[in-house]
Amino acid sequence: MTSSLFKNTPIFLAPLAGYTDQAYRMLCKAHGAEVLVSEMVSADGLTRDSVKTIQYIYFDPIERPYGVQLFGNDPDVMAKAAEFVLQYQPDFIDINMGCPVKKVIRRGAGSALMQTPDIASSIVKAVKKAVAGALPISVKFRSGIDNNNLNYADFGLLMQDSGADFVCLHPRTVKQMFSGKSNWEHIKHLKSLLNIPVVGNGDILCPEDALLMRDMCQCDGVMIGRGALGKPWIFSQARQMMDRGEYQAITKSSLLGTIMQHIDFALKHKPEHVVVKEMRSQLCFYTKGIIGGSELRNKINHTGSVSELKELLNNYLGGLV
C-alpha cells in the first residue's frame, strides 16, 4: 500500500492550517498536486464528535491519494480518533509531531512530542494498532527544538521502530518556526538511516527547488507548503522539472482565471460570507508583487460579496490578460 504511493517521487501538498481547506486542495489537485493532506485535525475534537472538527476530514474522491493529519498528546485519544477516521476511508493517516505553534505545544502535542519520545512512540504504536493495517501511518516532524537539540535522526529511527510506514521531515527547528532556512542536509541524513520512505519538506519555492531536493536528498517524495500559496501551478511545474528538466512558465493572463477557479471551488463548500472573508488571506499571496497590489488588497478587505470581489479582481487583473 505504501509502495504504490511512492512511485516516481510524488509531490505532496503540505497541511497548512487556515489555508489547505478542501477548496484549496482541489485547486492544487487540478494544478498537479499528487498527494493531498488535510489541515490539522484535533484528536480531542474528533473523540468529542465535534461537528466543527469533523468538517476538516471531509474530502472528495478526486483528491486521492489523501491523508488525514491528526494531532494530540494522548495515545488512547489518538487511537480512538484514528479509528473514527477509518470510516471516511482516507489513503493514510499522518500524525503531526512538528507544529511549532505555542497553543499546540502547550498541550504537549505537535513538536512538543519531540521532547517526549516515549509518548510519541506510544502514540504511533496505538494508532497503528487502531487502524489494524487498514492504511499506512506517517509522522511529520522537525529537526529538533533548537540547534543545540537536533534529535531528528534518533526520533526518525524511533518512529520507524514504533510502526510508522513513512515519515516527513521539515528540517527547521521549533525555535525557527518558519523563519530562516531549512537544512536539507538533515533530510539527506535521515534518508540514509531509515528503511521506510522519507518525504522532504521546506523551502520548495520554485520548480527548480523540487528537483534539487529530490536529487540532493534522495528523498522518496517532496512536499510543498507555503511555496504553493498564491501559485498552485507550482505542482505541475515541479513535475515537469523533475521529469524533463524544464517546465512551462505561467503567463500573467492565467492568474485571474486561477483566482476565479479558487473562489468557485470555495463556494461549493462554504457560505458566501465565509468565502469572501477567507479568500482575503489567500489573495494576499496571489497579488504579491503585482503593480497596484497594495491598493487592490486594501479594497479586497472591504468587499462584502463574491460578485463585488470578482468585479474588483476583473477590473484590476483583467488588464493583465
Count of positions (residues) in the chain: 321
Q: Is 99 a catalytic site residue?
A: yes
The answer to whether 58 and 37 have CB atoms below 8 angstroms apart is: no
- Alpha-carbon torsion (47, 51, 55, 58), positive or negative: positive
SS3 167: strand
Per DSSP, 59 falls in state -
Of the candidates 99, 168, 217, 219, the residue annotated as catalytic is 99
SS3 280: helix
SS3 17: coil
- Whose CA is closest to 105, among 125, 97, 15? 97
- Alpha-carbon torsion (73, 79, 85, 89), positive or negative: positive
SS3 166: strand
**Pair type for strands 11-13 and 36-42:** unpaired
Grid cell, residue 313, equals: 479582481
146 burial class (0-12, 13-18, 19+ CB within 10 angstroms)?
exposed
Residue 243: which residues within 8 A CB-CB, separation 6 or more? none
The answer to whether 321 and 256 have CB atoms below 8 angstroms apart is: yes
Per DSSP, 14 falls in state P
Measured torsion, CA atoms of residues 81, 82, 84, 86, in degrees rounded to the nearest 10: 170
Sheet with 137-144: strands ordered across: 11-13, 221-224, 198-201, 166-173, 137-144, 92-97, 66-71, 36-42
Residues assigned a catalytic role: 99
